[in-house]
Structure 1
Amino acid sequence: MKRTENFLYLVAFLLLGACDGFYEFPEIENPEPSPGQVDFSKTIAIGSSVTAGVMDGALYNRSQQNSYAVILAEQLKEAGGGEFNLPDVDAEVGSYVLSPPGTTIGRLILRVDANSGSVIPSPIVPGNPLLPFDGNRAEINNFGVNGMNLAAALSPETGNINAPEHPLFNLHYARFASNPGTSTLVADAAAALADGGTFLIFWLGKNDVLPYALQGGANPALLPADETFEQLYNTALNTLLQANPDAKGVVANIPSLNSLPFFSTISWNALPLNQSLAGLANGAYTQYNQALNEVAQAGLITDTERNLRTITFQPGFNGFVMEDKTLTDLSASGIPSIRLSNANDKVALTLATVLGEPVGGNNSAIRGVTVPVEDQYVLLPSEQEILEEKINTFNGFIEAAVASQSDRLVLVDVKAFLDQVAAGTVNAGSVPLTNSIVPPNGGFSVDGVHTNARANAFLANYFIEAIEAKWGSTIPKVNPNAFMGNDLPR
């Protein structure tokens, strides 16, 4: 009974004749490289999952080697940059980052469901557990860590392997922390910058809003207060800048949730029902709809809210039954706070594998029909407004922090760039980059949150443009069409 938009993948493959995700285009002609007014000899990057190279819900060799930070650092070598060392994971399949530490569930792939024929994200089993980094921790250049928010980046508990139950503990940092339980991610990056570092890539802050969004706004505590974010952000950035007063750098801001296919791949009316099933489903809500009419007549809710809450299915594609905590509380009348999804809702990609499926093996308990879809799978309009306000406010703090160090820093407006991708105005050699997970043009990996290698090449070029405009550098750009998009379905 489930339906996603993923059948479009197969159409795209047939139309484009894609076989490996690459394109044939001539290399970009670049002028003679020059560092301009900045020194790239030792670049240090700090950030969260995109900086680390997470793709397909996991960190693995290919994803780590194709982060925007790695691609950018490689181009900076042409203008005097040095080596850019990573805390290698040495995993072909990788560790699925949304699972408990040490899990052997691998990265997500697109898989054709044998029963429905739909193409859905599915994890590889088994994967590789995330193991301690066995290289030289003093030579690391990339301090990107999956799941890293500002509070965690400044706390020693984030790397404390003796207290894995702590809410800030993060195995992705603990595996390469200079002194687990004592050091912090910001302090480690600052030490690397102080040890001959000359250029900084700073992209923290995104994970101070993203977890709230990914959990459907179900936990407001995941959003920091404005003053908390501003204080933590300035502390982290200033710690890096003070580590080497001569270093310069780029700072990226927080993208809009509207640019993430995690919230646009699954349609709000993704529930297909035939005539018989629609009739059966309607029968289950006869008493519920009658009760709504009674409370509306009693003046407990408006006619508008009654219409919103009324549940009626039709043959074809339908909205699904979902929780809505913003509705008037009618629990005293025995009426749950539920309604059908509509075009104003943003649906999480994770709903694809459970919508229309039995809950707990009970064939009469169908998620989205007789069992409401839980809050964590849908962003309500009010939650979207909260997120938009937070992102705009936080980006204002980021812009102010960069402006206060304008001689040393330049802002990279990633939000504007990904908005352009969502608008369909970004391309390379006439080949577009889209805000989807559909290969070959989709710029996001299968998890719908993290950019893939091809999009990271675009991002690297976008960073380069900001650097060149600020300091008169000349840095060769990459050809994004030489980088792979998502793998074809299996």
Structure 2
Amino acid sequence: MKMKNIKNYIYLLSFGLLSACQYEFPEDAVLEPTPGQANFTKMVSIGNSLTAGFMDGTLYNRGQENSFAVILAEQFKTVGGGDFNVPHINSENGFYIMGPNNTPLGRLVLTINPTTGATGPAPIGPGDLPGPFTGERASLNNFGIPGVTLATALIPATGGPNAPQNPAFNPYYARMASNPGVSTLVGDAAAALANGGTFFTFWLGNNDVLGYATGGASNPGILTSDTDFQQRLAGALGTMLAANTEAKGAVANIPNLNVLPYFNLVPWNALPLSAAQAEQANLGYLPYNSALTQLQAAGLITAEERTLRTISFVAGQNGFVMEDETLTNLGGMGLPSIRQSNSADRATLTLSAALGQPVGGNPQLLRGISYPVEDQYVLLPSEQQEIQSKINSFNGFIAAAVTANADRLVLADVKDLLDRAATGSVNAGGQTLTASILPPNGGFSLDGVHPNARAHAFVANLFIEVINSKWGANIPRVNPNAYVGNDLPR
């Protein structure tokens, strides 16, 4: 049975009316810019990929130049802010993946399949592996490091050495660390704040749950416990506050899982089959389905579970066969814990390239048909609930930390901003910000996780709004519609 590449069925986007749009933006009331009760002379930002400007699956020049931190620092200049130096990656395309002949490929771009007309993300070539940082480390302001968690932000191993026995190693931090293998990210950021810093942004914690989620909740060891998160947050944020007792700051929280296109682009019924393919696949599951009926009759499973586990394909779009460890363990009777996906499941974006494809080069083992989709590709309903509960707990700790330091900190509720974007209630100049990758209004870059430049402008405006409200400042907002979203298909 030969399957078409499933990507052709996932990114069926219409671009008939799209163009590189520029929209008007209502100007703020004409008032003299003022810092109010805060001081923005030198801002220091610490965070992960969101602060770094990671977009389209990589860190590259345009992304770095359009992070919310860079946009925010530019607006601070209207009220006395100074330069904001970033650890430039010096790459037009960044590095996404190794391609044919061990050639690095760069950022994701929208491409049109010349055969099918389907549109979807694909890496551009060539790309660049991260090179050494050639700037002045002592003058850096942006300490956003892709992939960093609260734990790795606090330990020297993040800066090196690059060795198999050091899983904490992060090349993005190693290239800019003040003393690789000795210094820490939090320590470097705190040192910059102590050296004349007056204001800081803090956005850490996302990766303490995101990595677990994007891996289909298949590796519980990387999910931070509530106790560890609270302690590490207190350590990291406390270090920043202690670095300069006069400095004020804005702290951002963690977005909800269901707003990320990474978990929404591959539908639960993403498996297209012809009538002949469905018939052939069903023949292979006759013994399995018959055994389920017998086990129900013996009282070993309920009728509801038998129905859930029964595999049945039809012509057209189908749920894919997948692992489900929450099912009754029938391994002793020779039956795997499998079922077909349904609307309660969330597939990860990585499944798009694997679904319907041969496993291990064996044409008889087609992932999602004759071979079950593995745990790392799907979030079960119970796993979604676990992740959402974790996000709620972490955000509670973040909010409590801000409240405990209310004289110096303000919360930027990015979770709320993106929740509203998902309902279509965030806009600028009449143009909506959507929780999608679809240009021109889609707010997420093509990796389905990280905001694009236009969304970063909305995030910067959120920071400006809460800062203005908290400290009586009048920092002008930016026009998000002047920032590029995702490029049109090539």
Q: For residues 307 and 401 of structure 1, what CA distance do their matches in structure 2 show?
A: 47
The offset of 1:119, in angstroms, is: 2.0
The offset of 1:124, in angstroms, is: 2.2
1:376 aligned partner: 376
2:138 aligned partner: 138
Q: Could you tell me which amino acid in structure 2 is paired with residue 213 of structure 1?
A: A
2:160 aligned partner: 160
Q: For residues 265 and 176 of structure 1, what CA distance do their matches in structure 2 show?
A: 35
1:238 aligned partner: 238
Instruction: Between 107-116 and 267-276, report the one with greater CA deviation.
Output: 107-116
The offset of 1:347, in angstroms, is: 1.0
In the alignment, is residue 104 of structure 1 matched against residue 65 of structure 2? no
- The answer to whether the 8 A contact 2:73-2:84 is kept is yes
The offset of 1:61, in angstroms, is: 0.2
Q: For residues 284 and 8 of structure 1, what CA distance do their matches in structure 2 show?
A: 31
- Residues 42-57 of structure 1 correspond to what in structure 2 (within 5 A)? 42-57=42-57
- Residues 299-448 of structure 1 correspond to what in structure 2 (within 5 A)? 299-448=299-448
Q: For residues 27 and 420 of structure 1, what CA distance do their matches in structure 2 show?
A: 20
- The answer to whether the 8 A contact 2:85-2:140 is kept is yes
Q: Could you tell me which amino acid in structure 2 is paired with residue 201 of structure 1?
A: T
1:468 aligned partner: 468
2:223 aligned partner: 223
Query: Matched residue of 1:121: which SS?
Result: strand
Q: Could you tell me which amino acid in structure 2 is paired with residue 430 of structure 1?
A: G
The offset of 1:115, in angstroms, is: 4.5
Flag the 1:425–1:323 CA change in 2: closer, same or farther, 3 A: same
Flag the 1:135–1:3 CA change in 2: closer, same or farther, 3 A: closer
Unaligned runs of 5+ in 2: none
Query: Matched residue of 2:105: which SS?
Result: coil
The offset of 1:334, in angstroms, is: 1.0
Query: Matched residue of 2:365: which SS?
Result: strand
Unaligned runs of 5+ in 1: none
Q: For residues 480 and 18 of structure 1, what CA distance do their matches in structure 2 show?
A: 18
The offset of 1:3, in angstroms, is: 5.3
- The answer to whether the 8 A contact 1:296-1:306 is kept is yes
The offset of 1:278, in angstroms, is: 1.0
Query: Matched residue of 1:457: which SS?
Result: helix
Q: For residues 332 and 105 of structure 1, what CA distance do their matches in structure 2 show?
A: 46
Query: Matched residue of 1:33: which SS?
Result: coil
Q: For residues 23 and 371 of structure 1, what CA distance do their matches in structure 2 show?
A: 48
- The answer to whether the 8 A contact 2:40-2:198 is kept is yes
Query: Matched residue of 2:104: which SS?
Result: coil
Q: For residues 29 and 467 of structure 1, what CA distance do their matches in structure 2 show?
A: 15
The offset of 1:7, in angstroms, is: 4.4
- The answer to whether the 8 A contact 2:269-2:342 is kept is yes
The offset of 1:467, in angstroms, is: 0.3
Q: For residues 389 and 26 of structure 1, what CA distance do their matches in structure 2 show?
A: 37
Q: Could you tell me which amino acid in structure 2 is paired with residue 421 of structure 1?
A: A
Flag the 1:201–1:237 CA change in 2: closer, same or farther, 3 A: same
Q: For residues 484 and 356 of structure 1, what CA distance do their matches in structure 2 show?
A: 35
2:22 aligned partner: 23
The offset of 1:28, in angstroms, is: 2.5
The offset of 1:169, in angstroms, is: 0.8
1:122 aligned partner: 122
Q: For residues 243 and 3 of structure 1, what CA distance do their matches in structure 2 show?
A: 49
Flag the 1:61–1:320 CA change in 2: closer, same or farther, 3 A: same
- Residues 161-200 of structure 1 correspond to what in structure 2 (within 5 A)? 161-163=161-163, 165-200=165-200
Flag the 1:97–1:146 CA change in 2: closer, same or farther, 3 A: farther
- The answer to whether the 8 A contact 2:7-2:120 is kept is no
CA offset digits 1:142-195 (Å, max 9, x no partner) = 000000100000000000135364111111100100000000000000000000
Query: Matched residue of 1:410: which SS?
Result: strand
- The answer to whether the 8 A contact 1:97-1:146 is kept is no
Q: Could you tell me which amino acid in structure 2 is paired with residue 255 of structure 1?
A: P
2:269 aligned partner: 269
Q: For residues 304 and 117 of structure 1, what CA distance do their matches in structure 2 show?
A: 41
The offset of 1:27, in angstroms, is: 6.3
- The answer to whether the 8 A contact 1:24-1:481 is kept is yes
Q: For residues 97 and 390 of structure 1, what CA distance do their matches in structure 2 show?
A: 30
- The answer to whether the 8 A contact 2:110-2:119 is kept is yes
1:256 aligned partner: 256
The offset of 1:385, in angstroms, is: 0.8
- The answer to whether the 8 A contact 1:4-1:265 is kept is no
- The answer to whether the 8 A contact 2:98-2:105 is kept is no
Q: For residues 57 and 45 of structure 2, what CA distance do their matches in structure 1 show?
A: 21
Cα RMSD of the aligned pairs, angstroms, is 1.7
Q: How many aligned residue pairs are there?
A: 483
Query: Matched residue of 1:417: which SS?
Result: helix
- The answer to whether the 8 A contact 2:26-2:429 is kept is no
The offset of 1:121, in angstroms, is: 2.0
Instruction: Between 140-149 and 279-288, report the one with greater CA deviation.
Output: 279-288
The offset of 1:32, in angstroms, is: 1.9
- The answer to whether the 8 A contact 2:35-2:79 is kept is yes
The offset of 1:292, in angstroms, is: 1.1
Q: For residues 277 and 97 of structure 1, what CA distance do their matches in structure 2 show?
A: 33
Q: Could you tell me which amino acid in structure 2 is paired with residue 24 of structure 1?
A: Y
CA offset digits 1:109-150 (Å, max 9, x no partner) = 222234443222222233101011110000000000000100
Q: Could you tell me which amino acid in structure 1 is paired with residue 475 of structure 2?
A: I
Query: Matched residue of 2:151: which SS?
Result: helix
Q: TM-score, normalised by structure 1?
A: 0.95
In the alignment, is residue 247 of structure 1 matched against residue 247 of structure 2? yes
